[in-house]
Amino acid sequence: MTTTESPAAPSRPDPVLRPHPLRRTLDVIGVQNLSLIIALIALCAVIGSQNTNFFLVSNIKTIGTTVSIVGIIAVVQTVVMLLGGLDISVGSAAGLTSVASAMVFTSASSAALGILVGLLVGIGVGLLNGMVIVYGRVNAVIATLATYAALRGLANLISNGRAQGYTGTDSTFIFLAQGSVLGIPILIWVLIVVALLVHLMLRYTDIGRNIYATGGNPTAARLAGINLNRYVIGCYILAGFVAAIAGILLTARTGSGQPTSGSQGLELQSITAAALGGVALQGGKGGITGTVIAVLMLGVLQNGLTILNVNSFWQDIAQGALLVVAVVIQQRRGKLRAYGLPR
Amino acid sequence: MTNPGSAAAGTSPTTSRLRAEQISKSFGPVHALTEVSLDVRAGEVLALMGENGAGKSTLLRVLSGDHQPDAGHLLLDGTPVTFHSPREAHRAGLRVIQQEPEIIPHVSVAENIYLGALPRRGRLLDKRTLIAQVRRDLERYGFQDVLDPGTLGSELSAAQRQLVEILRALAGEVRVIAFDEPTSSLSDHEVDALFGLIRRLRDDGVAIVYVSHRMPEIFTIADRVAVLRDGRYVGDRLVSQTDNAELVRMMVGRNLADMFVRDPREPGEVMLSVRGLVTDDVRDVSLQVRAGEVVGLGGLVGAGRSELALAIIGAVPIHQGGIEVAGEPLRLRGPADALRAGIGLAPEERKAQALLLRRSVRDNITLAVLSRLARLRVVRRRAERDLARRHVDQLAIRASSIEQEVATLSGGNQQKVVLARWLARRPRVLILDEPTRGVDVGAKAEIYSIINDLAGQGMALLVISSEMPELLGLSDRIVVMQGGRVTGEVTRAEATEERVLALAMAEDLSTTGAQP
């Protein structure tokens, strides 16, 4: 019933026409992204008019480095959501890898080994999530809610709930936290590289296209020969892997392994960013561009509220409200049926 | 009544309770009902018959207020009525018993029956009164042995669910009640109880519409039979003055349109061979399809044909039996395996099972060939666009561009997009499940011609269709199923609508069949 019958165009003998160039440009950016960009500019203007320090290069770098960790998580959250899933465990996974990498670093005094173990932990977490969802046939929200709690517990257990190790003197970790290439901090480079790679994968490879297909219509995807299980597990592994990168960056920034601080709330922030960026909760629709712009917006908003001296508790409230608003807008746009109406 | 087929006018002593006058209803380009006029009289059981897609369900939906007719109107006891919603029809005393009742699983039978009208004391549910009420109802209609008021909805059998739905419908004033194939899930004992209930309602002066494919039942319970065909009213007969053969003739008596192009072709090697296949819904099915051959799979809705297709493609678990493609036994873990072996399925529910509605025509056409189009996993865009364009041209898909969202295409063009996906993939065996459902006449003819071309190119085609002319027009051979089994096979030369229909109803006639 959501279908509109299009009046076929019998007057056009050639059924395939190239769209207008302007239209194509707009299609590339996307209407939703355009409105996000406008909102971002407006937000910057409002905050900047209240406090001109906002536009200082140092402040902009601050925004960039703060959003980078949320940003890479939001990028993989986007992939999982495109597939029709959700990963609530990303924050806990980042916390666990943060602790694990710092502890291994301390006992082995090798940054490389610490990072490697951290990444392996992330992959393991993703594999676990994927297996529980696929073979245990558990709803993705429940499965990752369970690992969300369990991994947090595990991180606190192995660390006794305290910060672990001290990485602040190791050159590798210092480079990750404070280094810069071409004047741009490493943290921002990581976000750029992760976002770009995932974007290219989604847009140009058959893997990306199959992710969209699976999220859009799993039955159709399966009947077209797509191995759904492999895709589901693969996407959760990707999410775990990137959560591990986030955890390692967290260790580098704070100089020690943090079981909860800094990683708590990443799940909410990443889901909010993806939803705000136009990723449909039922999957199959959205993209990395929107998510990245939304991440920037959230970062600017947070930074703005801070430099305008707004109580930080308000920031949580604002974030929650934003998630609901973003989803409401999406449901309206998607012409979804009201709850309980028969098909 | 101007219809020459009307035999019963004036012979019945009772008056018209519900009268449909010149009802028409279209869905997009499809005419589901065309100027249907029909009388249901108080105190009679009117059987409504017709093939799949004849318009019975649409007519019931108009009566229940689910659909509003495009033209024509309803008269209830001589007064014109319009229903904007099922609720309005309900208030006027019309009830339609659906085949698939909506039962709330974690709530008792009693609460399911009185849903929305639960007896209360203050703000609290008066459970004692409720149970007493339901007991009284059950005894009144003779179902006290079949149903317990305290059972949870989730524990009910299909038959019991049906009864709950019926009891629910009987609340309030009932003037007309329609049953849509009520016995399909009932045992003989339960059918007897249901018939007892129907007779009692009839004697109370309720007008009853009874939709069924089962001939013996019609002769047992109905007073009069009305037949629909292709959305039109064919005529009615008093049950006492007609027989099986006449009714079948009325249901199928239609000229084959000149819609079928058929090039002479010589079937080659056996491409698909199914032996003794058993699944949850399919019982011991064997069949073969040769290269360059179109095998039609006939039967009534629910005969297990779509389930067979899903089993062949590996989408549902197979308990026994085997499948071979070009002589090679197939090891099926999922549709990906079937596809690799060269079997494709264009499923029955286009929107739910085949299309990515929010994606472009291009995305949809190339879905099953993306890995072929990719080099180092990167999809070659030019090759992809060319492939999509070529198929859009070849099938004359009417879209503004290959980037148009599929949801905005008409049903026929959507179906062609699904076909294009399989044409692009070029499987050795292609299963088409209801390839022309919801498609207008013009697009139907185009789809038939595509099927003919594919067979000409040596593809093995298995076509499931509930439309007789389509089945007869397309197929080299027709395999007919009923109740999950193959009940017979007829060659193109032997095939007639009567013969196929008889096979499709075979079990009904033999097992329930007390009367001819």
CA distance A199 to A293: 13
Q: At what angle do helices A206-216 and A57-82 cross, to 10 degrees?
A: 70
pLDDT at A139 exceeding the cut of 90? yes
> Is 3.40.50.300 the CATH classification of the domain at B16-103+156-252?
yes
Structure tokens at B389: 């364009």
Torsion of CA B92, B98, B104, B109, to 10 degrees: 80
Q: Do B466 and B53 contact (CB within 8 A), yes or no?
A: yes
Note the Cα A280 to chain centre separation in Å.
Answer: 14
Q: At what angle do helices A90-108 and A57-82 cross, to 10 degrees?
A: 110
- Length of chain B equals 516
Cβ of B371 and A226 within 8 Å?
no
Could you read off the pLDDT tens digit of each residue along chain B, which spans 516 residues? 334 444 444 344 457 899 999 999 987 667 788 899 999 999 999 999 887 667 888 898 898 888 889 999 899 988 899 888 888 888 888 988 877 778 888 888 888 888 877 888 888 888 888 888 888 888 887 777 778 888 888 888 777 888 888 888 887 788 999 998 887 667 777 788 788 889 988 998 899 999 887 778 889 999 999 999 888 899 999 999 988 778 877 877 644 455 677 777 888 899 999 999 999 999 999 999 999 999 999 988 788 999 999 999 999 999 999 999 998 998 888 899 999 999 999 998 888 899 998 899 999 999 999 988 988 899 999 999 999 999 999 888 888 889 988 988 877 889 899 999 999 999 999 999 999 877 766 677 788 889 999 999 999 999 999 888 889 889 999 999 988 999 999 998 888 888 888 888 875 444 443 333
Q: Could you tell me which residues come within 8 angstroms of residue B431 by beta carbon, excluding any fewer than 6 positions away?
A: B309, B312, B313, B343, B344, B345, B346, B461, B462, B463, B464
Q: Counting one residue from A and one from B, how many pairs have CB atoms under 8 Å apart?
A: 113
H/E run at residue B293? none
Structure tokens at B68: 């509003």
Q: Give the pLDDT confidence score for residue A71 in this predicted structure.
A: 96
Structure tokens at A127: 């594999």
pLDDT in tens, A209-221: 999 999 999 999 9
What are the two backbone dihedrals, phi and then psi, of residue A337, each rounded to the nearest 5 degrees? Answer: -75, 150
Cβ of A9 and B398 within 8 Å?
yes
CA distance B131 to B151: 11
Q: Do B38 and B233 contact (CB within 8 A), yes or no?
A: yes
For residue A226, the chain B residues in CB contact (below 8 A) are 336
Sign of CA dihedral B131, B134, B136, B139: negative
CA distance B375 to B380: 7
CA distance A125 to A223: 29
Give contacts of A 55-94 with B, CB under 8 A.
Answer: none
CA distance A273 to A283: 15
Q: Give the pLDDT confidence score for residue A10 in this predicted structure.
A: 40
For residue A213, the chain B residues in CB contact (below 8 A) are 356, 359, 363, 367
- Nearest CB partner across the interface for A18, out of B336, B355, B401: B401
Q: Tell me the average pLDDT of chain A.
A: 86
CA distance B361 to B472: 31
For residue A220, the chain B residues in CB contact (below 8 A) are 353-356, 367
Q: Could you tell me which residues come within 8 angstroms of residue B303 by beta carbon, excluding any fewer than 6 positions away?
A: B481, B482, B483, B484, B504
Going from the N-terminus, what domains does chain A have, and what CATH number goes with each? 57-327 (1.10.3470)
CA distance B18 to A47: 69
Categorize the per-residue pLDDT at A8 as very low, low, confident or very high, splitting at 50, 70 and 90: very low
What letter does residue A154 receive in the DSSP assignment?
H
Q: Give the pLDDT confidence score for residue A13 in this predicted structure.
A: 40
Q: Do B347 and B353 contact (CB within 8 A), yes or no?
A: yes
Cβ of A19 and B401 within 8 Å?
yes
Sign of CA dihedral A190, A192, A196, A199: positive
CB proximity A17 to B under 8 Å: yes
What does the domain layout of chain B look like in residue ranges? 16-103+156-252, 105-155, 270-512
- The number of C-alpha atoms within 13 Å of A65 and in the hemisphere containing its C-beta is 20
Mean pLDDT across A93-113 = 91
Which chain A residue is nearest to residue B355, measuring alpha carbons? A220
Cβ of B315 and A221 within 8 Å?
no
Domains B16-103+156-252 and B270-512 share a fold: yes
pLDDT at A190 exceeding the cut of 90? yes
In angstroms, the Cα distances linking B311 to B304, B332, B340 are 10, 9, 15
Count other C-beta atoms under 10 Å from residue B514's C-beta. Answer: 8
Q: Do B355 and B413 contact (CB within 8 A), yes or no?
A: no
CA distance B147 to B433: 38
Q: What one-letter code names the amino acid at B430?
A: L
Rg (CA), chain A: 21
Structure tokens at A142: 């429940």
The CATH class of B270-512 is alpha beta
What letter does residue B15 receive in the DSSP assignment?
P
Could you tell me what percentage of chain B is helix, strand and coil, using 3-state DSSP and rounding each to the nearest 5?
35, 25, 35
Q: For testing the chain A interface, which of B339, B345, B364, B378 should be mutated: the one with the most A CBs within 10 Å?
A: B378
Cβ of B401 and A210 within 8 Å?
no
Q: Apex CA B195: angle with CA B189 and CA B196, to 5°?
A: 90
Cβ of B379 and A205 within 8 Å?
yes
Q: Could you tell me which residues come within 8 angstroms of residue B121 by beta carbon, excluding any fewer than 6 positions away?
A: B129
H/E run at residue B482? strand B477-482
Give contacts of A 267-286 with B, CB under 8 A.
Answer: 284-285
Q: Do A296 and A67 contact (CB within 8 A), yes or no?
A: yes
B430 bridge partner residues? B344, B461
CB proximity A224 to B under 8 Å: yes
Q: At what angle do helices A111-135 and A228-254 cross, to 10 degrees?
A: 150
Mean pLDDT across A321-337 = 73
Strands B71-76 and B16-27: antiparallel
pLDDT at A47 exceeding the cut of 70? yes
CA distance A325 to A179: 37
Which chain B residue is nearest to residue A226, measuring alpha carbons? B336
Helix (H, G, I), strand (E, B) or coil at B23: strand
pLDDT at A15 exceeding the cut of 80? no
- The number of C-alpha atoms within 13 Å of B16 and in the hemisphere containing its C-beta is 17
Sign of CA dihedral A82, A84, A87, A88: positive
CA distance A56 to A45: 13
CA distance B398 to A241: 45
Query: Is this prediction's ipTM beyond 0.85?
Result: no
Structure tokens at A246: 């986030």
Q: Do B276 and B284 contact (CB within 8 A), yes or no?
A: yes
Q: Give the pLDDT confidence score for residue B516 in this predicted structure.
A: 37
Note the Cα B337 to chain centre separation in Å.
Answer: 29
Q: Which own/partner pairs from A19-24 qualify as long-range (CB within 8 Å, at least 24 positions apart)?
A: A19/B401, A19/B403
Which chain A residue is nearest to residue B337, measuring alpha carbons? A225
Q: Give the pLDDT confidence score for residue B358 in this predicted structure.
A: 86
Cβ of A223 and B315 within 8 Å?
yes
Categorize the per-residue pLDDT at A6 as very low, low, confident or very high, splitting at 50, 70 and 90: very low
Structure tokens at A138: 């558990």
Categorize the per-residue pLDDT at A75 as very low, low, confident or very high, splitting at 50, 70 and 90: very high
Nearest to B226 by CA among B515, B464, B3, B460: B3
Note the Cα B391 to chain centre separation in Å.
Answer: 30
Higher local confidence (pLDDT), B480 or A13: B480
Structure tokens at B493: 């030369």
CA distance A245 to A68: 11
Q: What one-letter code names the amino acid at B472?
A: L
Q: Do B230 and B58 contact (CB within 8 A), yes or no?
A: no
User: Could you please report the per-residue DSSP string of B296-336?
Assistant: EEE--TTSSHHHHHHHHTTSS---EEEEEETTEEP--SSHH
Q: Do A247 and B387 contact (CB within 8 A), yes or no?
A: no
Q: Give the pLDDT confidence score for residue A342 in this predicted structure.
A: 47
Categorize the per-residue pLDDT at A340 as very low, low, confident or very high, splitting at 50, 70 and 90: low
Q: Do B495 and B473 contact (CB within 8 A), yes or no?
A: no
Structure tokens at B474: 């397309």
Q: At what angle do helices A31-50 and A21-29 cross, to 10 degrees?
A: 60
Q: Encode burial over B393-411: b for 16+ CB neighbours within 10 A, e otherwise.
A: eebebbbbbbbbbbbbbbb
